[in-house]
């Protein structure tokens, strides 16, 4: 693994920490995982399209699509956005509020069923 | 390491980064979280409004096949036969040579015929939310291969999804190259990402052209309730503008990298930060694809 090209030691210094320039040391995790996740995302999209044409529209089919969407989101955030290599506290800070979004969407989908009927 | 003991004794006491992320990257993530809330409220509004209407799917099930057939809707095995390309070609372009030119007029015929027929039978009406199956079923023609007039739901938008996923892959490869401080590889992968972004924007423009060409406007459309087109323009427009902003940012990063800015700085974190934004655009598309086109 090639070392980071570093002309300025201060940017990584944790003792004389300067938040305006400080960046952590980075290292590559290779490209194998990236391409694996590409094929997985492509496969999930193909599964989406297959369900779309094979299964007639229903709430069960909608749930399958949403579940596959969440699986795709996990791979994009985890691998492409590097989240699985971040510290747990940092990942939690971003991911936990996103749980409210999933809850809110599901809630409003059911709520919309009653509009105009009462 | 002496630095480790200092960091451990005062993780939250200031003077270090407890999350081991730079200020800029932390702020990009916080911005993306806020942007995720923005898009989720748009998609939530879409879902809630859509489900306050009945859908064309249930409407079609309620109408007897015999009635549809009497209304001039092509049927096959008791369901609407959407693969009526042949009917269209015969009806509007009896001259085969005229059809192969597949100009704007040939396509306008298809749109007029299909949308008009669906409106006449009451399948497209302000009281039913149109199934995406019946609205986004076009695919552009390429020279000898002509898809005009064919019923191809989901195919074009799947192509757009593929383009965006691929551009996300090239972006993450640029970030990986940056981690190895490989300037030339960063340039190469950033260029592919920019090309992917422009391809997606081109597809989006074509999709909008079809939709507007069929008579859709912000406050009215021939497919269904007025809010259908308003939400389509609103959500895909908002996403499309994010893609456009992402392409502009990618170009800035590409040029900076060519000028050696990151080589001099000693790290390529700007590539990663803009990469986060670009992946987020891909992430939003996953859900736009799910809620607008699949469901």
Instruction: Select the residue from B267, B280, B289 to test the A interface by mutation, using most A Cβ atoms within 10 A.
Output: B267
- Chain B residues whose beta carbon lies within 8 Å of the beta carbon of residue A77: 279, 283
On whether residue B8 sits in a domain, the answer given is no
pLDDT value at position B96? Answer: 43
pLDDT value at position B144? Answer: 62
The encoded tokens of residue B27 equal 């702020």
- Which distant-in-sequence residues (6+ apart) come within 8 Å of B14 by Cβ? none
Beta bridge partners of B80: B75
| B72: closest CA of chain A, how far (Å) | 23
Residue B166 CA, chain-centre distance (Å), reads: 14
Can you tell me the distance from the alpha carbon of B223 to that of B207, in angstroms, rounded to the nearest whole number?
15
pLDDT value at position B103? Answer: 45
B294 and A65 within 8 Å at the Cβ level: the answer is yes
Pick A34's closest partner by Cβ from B26, B33, B169: B169
pLDDT value at position B146? Answer: 62
pLDDT value at position B51? Answer: 82
Can you tell me the distance from the alpha carbon of A60 to that of A17, in angstroms, rounded to the nearest whole number?
53
Residue A39 host element (H or E): helix A32-54
B48 and A109 within 8 Å at the Cβ level: the answer is yes
Q: Which residues of chain B have pLDDT under 70?
A: 1-9, 60-65, 71-74, 76-113, 142-150
Give the residue numbers spanning the domain of B113. 54-135
The answer to whether residues B223 and B124 touch, using CB atoms and an 8 Å cutoff, is yes
On whether residue B105 sits in a domain, the answer given is yes
| B269: closest CA of chain A, how far (Å) | 8
Beta bridge partners of B79: B76
On whether residue B45 sits in a domain, the answer given is yes
Question: Do B275 and B163 lie in a common domain?
Answer: yes
| B162: closest CA of chain A, how far (Å) | 7
Question: Do B60 and B158 lie in a common domain?
Answer: no
Q: Is B20 left (phi over 0), alpha (psi -120 to 50) or beta?
A: left
Question: Do B161 and B131 lie in a common domain?
Answer: no
Residue A9 has pLDDT above 80, yes or no: no
The encoded tokens of residue B65 equal 């096949």
The answer to whether residues B237 and B205 touch, using CB atoms and an 8 Å cutoff, is no
Question: Do B219 and B288 lie in a common domain?
Answer: yes
On whether residue B35 sits in a domain, the answer given is yes
Residue with tokens 């599964």: A47
The encoded tokens of residue B206 equal 């074509």
Question: Do B121 and B217 lie in a common domain?
Answer: no
Average pLDDT, chain A: 85
Beta bridge partners of B124: none
Q: How many CB atoms lie within 10 A of CB A117?
A: 6
Which of B100, B135, B170 represents a domain boundary (last residue)?
Answer: B135
On whether residue B141 sits in a domain, the answer given is no
A28 and B29 within 8 Å at the Cβ level: the answer is no
The answer to whether residues A102 and A70 touch, using CB atoms and an 8 Å cutoff, is yes
Can you tell me the distance from the alpha carbon of A79 to that of A31, in angstroms, rounded to the nearest whole number?
11
Average pLDDT (A1-22) is 68
Can you tell me the distance from the alpha carbon of B5 to that of A24, in angstroms, rounded to the nearest whole number?
17
HEC-encoded secondary structure of chain B: CHHHHHHHHCCCCCCCCCCCCCHHHHHHHHHHHHHHHHHHHHHHHHHHHHCCCEEHHHHHHHCCHHHHHHCCCCEECCEECCCCHHHHHHHHCCCHHHHHCCCHHHHHHHHHHHHHHHHHCCCCCCCEECCHHHHCCCCCCECCECCCCCCCCCHHHHHHHHHHHHHHHHHHHHHHHHHCCCHHHHHHHHHHHHHHHHHHHHHHHHHHHHHHHCCCCCCCCCCCCHHHHHHHHHHHHHHHHHHHHHHHHHHHHHHHHHCCHHHHHCCCHHHHHHHHHHHHHHHHHHHHHHHHHHC
Residue A53 has pLDDT above 50, yes or no: yes
- How many CB pairs below 8 Å do chains A and B form together? 174
pLDDT value at position B14? Answer: 80
| Minimal-distance CA residue of chain B relative to A100 | B37
Can you tell me the distance from the alpha carbon of B78 to that of B81, in angstroms, rounded to the nearest whole number?
9
pLDDT value at position B76? Answer: 67
Question: Do B185 and B102 lie in a common domain?
Answer: no
Residue bearing the bigger pLDDT, B10 or A73: A73
pLDDT value at position A91? Answer: 94
Question: Do B114 and B202 lie in a common domain?
Answer: no
pLDDT value at position B264? Answer: 94
Question: Any idea what the CATH number is for the domain that residue B242 is in?
Answer: 1.20.120.80
pLDDT value at position B289? Answer: 95
Question: Do B97 and B205 lie in a common domain?
Answer: no
Question: Do B103 and B204 lie in a common domain?
Answer: no
- Chain A residues whose beta carbon lies within 8 Å of the beta carbon of residue B29: 90, 94
Pick B40's closest partner by Cβ from A29, A87, A101: A101
A80 and B171 within 8 Å at the Cβ level: the answer is yes
On whether residue B288 sits in a domain, the answer given is yes
| B32: closest CA of chain A, how far (Å) | 9
Sign of the dihedral through C-alpha B265, B242, A104, B287 = negative
Instruction: Select the residue from A69, A70, A102, A114 to test the B interface by mutation, using most B Cβ atoms within 10 A.
Output: A69
- Chain A residues whose beta carbon lies within 8 Å of the beta carbon of residue B49: 112, 115
Beta bridge partners of B75: B80
On whether residue B199 sits in a domain, the answer given is yes
Question: Do B162 and B43 lie in a common domain?
Answer: yes
Percent of chain B clearing pLDDT 70 (strictly above): 77
The pair phi, psi for residue A75, each rounded to 5°, is -65, -40
Pick B23's closest partner by Cβ from A15, A20, A65: A20
Question: Do B43 and B84 lie in a common domain?
Answer: no
pLDDT value at position B228? Answer: 93
The structural domain count of chain B equals 2
Q: How far apart are the first and last CA of chain A?
A: 65
Question: Do B203 and B225 lie in a common domain?
Answer: yes
Dump pLDDT digits (tens) for A40-52.
999 999 999 999 9
What are the extents of the domains in chain A?
29-112
On whether residue B149 sits in a domain, the answer given is no
| Minimal-distance CA residue of chain A relative to B20 | A24
Report the half-sphere exposure of B272 (CA within 13 A, side-chain side).
26
Question: Measuring CA to CA, which residue among B289, B130, B145 is closest to residue B207?
Answer: B289
């Amino acid at each position: 693994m090639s070392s980071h090209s570093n002309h300025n030691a201060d940017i990584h210094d944790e003792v004389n920490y300067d938040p305006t320039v400080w960046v952590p040391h980075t290292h590559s995790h290779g490209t194998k995982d990236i391409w694996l996740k590409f094929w997985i995302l492509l496969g999930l999209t193909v599964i989406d399209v297959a369900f779309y044409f094979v299964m007639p529209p229903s709430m069960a089919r909608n749930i399958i699509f949403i579940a596959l969407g969440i699986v795709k989101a996990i791979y994009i955030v985890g691998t492409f956005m590097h989240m699985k290599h971040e510290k747990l506290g940092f990942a939690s800070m971003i991911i936990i509020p996103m749980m409210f979004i999933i809850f809110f969407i599901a809630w409003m989908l059911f709520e919309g069923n009653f509009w105009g009927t009462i | 390491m002496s630095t480790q003991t200092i960091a451990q004794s005062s993780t939250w006491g200031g003077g270090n980064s407890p999350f081991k992320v730079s200020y800029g990257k932390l702020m990009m993530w916080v911005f993306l979280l806020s942007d995720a809330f923005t898009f989720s409220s748009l998609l939530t509004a879409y879902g809630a409004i859509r489900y306050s209407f009945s859908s064309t799917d249930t409407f079609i099930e309620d109408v007897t096949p015999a009635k549809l057939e009497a209304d001039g809707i092509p049927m096959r095995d008791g369901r609407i036969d959407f693969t009526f390309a042949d009917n269209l070609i015969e009806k509007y372009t009896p001259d085969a040579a005229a059809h192969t030119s597949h100009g704007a007029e040939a396509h306008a015929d298809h749109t007029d015929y299909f949308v008009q027929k669906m409106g006449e039978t009451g399948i497209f009406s302000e009281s039913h939310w149109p199934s995406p199956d019946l609205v986004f079923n076009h695919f552009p023609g390429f020279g000898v291969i002509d898809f005009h007039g064919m019923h191809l739901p989901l195919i074009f938008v799947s192509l757009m999804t593929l383009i965006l996923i691929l551009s996300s892959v090239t972006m993450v490869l640029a970030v990986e190259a940056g981690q190895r401080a490989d300037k030339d590889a960063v340039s190469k992968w950033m260029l592919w990402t920019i090309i992917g972004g422009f391809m997606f924007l081109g597809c989006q423009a074509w999709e909008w052209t079809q939709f507007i060409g069929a008579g859709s406007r912000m406050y009215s459309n021939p497919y269904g309730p007025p809010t259908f087109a308003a939400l389509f323009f609103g959500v895909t427009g908002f996403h499309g503008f994010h893609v456009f902003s992402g392409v502009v940012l990618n170009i800035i990063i590409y040029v900076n990298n060519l000028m050696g800015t990151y080589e001099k700085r000693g790290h390529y974190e700007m590539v990663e930060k803009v990469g986060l934004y670009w992946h987020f655009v891909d992430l939003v598309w996953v859900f736009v694809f799910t809620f607008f086109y699949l469901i």
